[in-house]
Structures are given as C-alpha cells and as structure tokens.
Amino acid sequence: MTQTSMSFDRPTARDLGFREGSQNSQLYRMLLERPRVSNIEIIHQAYILNSTGRISDLRKALKPYLMDVKATPDPNRKGVFYYELKG
C-alpha cells in the first residue's frame, strides 16, 4: 500500500467531547485561530474566569491526539501567561 498524502487536521471541539458554545469549546477555538492567547485575553474576551481550569481540560482532551497547550510566562508582567497549541 502506498500512502500518497497525510492529513494533519486538528481535532474539532466536538471530537474532543466539548459541547458547542461551552467555555472549553470557546477557548479551543481561540487557540486554533491565534498563534497564542494570554490569560488576560481569555478572561476579558471570552469571559472565562477559570482559565487555568479550562486549559487543564483542553490538555486532557488533546493528549490522545498527541497535542498539548504550552504555557509561557510573560517576563515583564507578573501573573500573565501566554498559551499556544503544540503538536
């Protein structure tokens, strides 16, 4: 058998078990649309107050797809983190 192409499509929110419109679904969409998202953006734009909890949910759901969410602290602003999809 010869494989002529490979698909690297990322899973949908539904594939991850997230309901449409849920906070997890909103956060995942933000991460798909932007190269990185700060916890401040998550709080003020998506109105998700428990951003670390939602990031944990995403990490758990993405693990079977060999994906993760990378967190990087902002060196100039204490308590600010940037998140991006990896994998």
CA distances from 10 to 23, 48, 68, 79, 86 (A): 19, 23, 12, 29, 11
CATH assignment at residue 67: 3.90.1150.220
Query: Is position 70 within any domain?
Result: yes
Query: Is position 16 within any domain?
Result: no
Mean pLDDT of 16-25: 96
Mean pLDDT of 62-73: 97
Please tell me the distance from the alpha carbon of residue 68 to that of residue 44, in angstroms, as a whole number.
Answer: 23
Which residue range forms the structural domain that includes residue 53?
Answer: 23-86
In the chain, how many domains are there? 1
CA atoms within 13 A on the CB side of 82: 11
Mean pLDDT of 26-40: 96
User: Which band of pLDDT confidence, cut at 50, 70 and 90, is reported for residue 70?
Assistant: very high
Query: Is position 66 within any domain?
Result: yes
User: Around Cβ 46, how many Cβ atoms within 10 Å?
Assistant: 16
Is the overall model pTM greater than 0.75, yes or no? yes
Residue 58: exposed, middle, or buried by beta-carbon count in 10 A (0-12, 13-18, 19+)? buried
Please tell me the distance from the alpha carbon of residue 87 to that of residue 84, in angstroms, as a whole number.
Answer: 10
| Chain Cα centroid distance, residue 80 | 16
Query: Is position 75 within any domain?
Result: yes
Query: Is position 6 within any domain?
Result: no
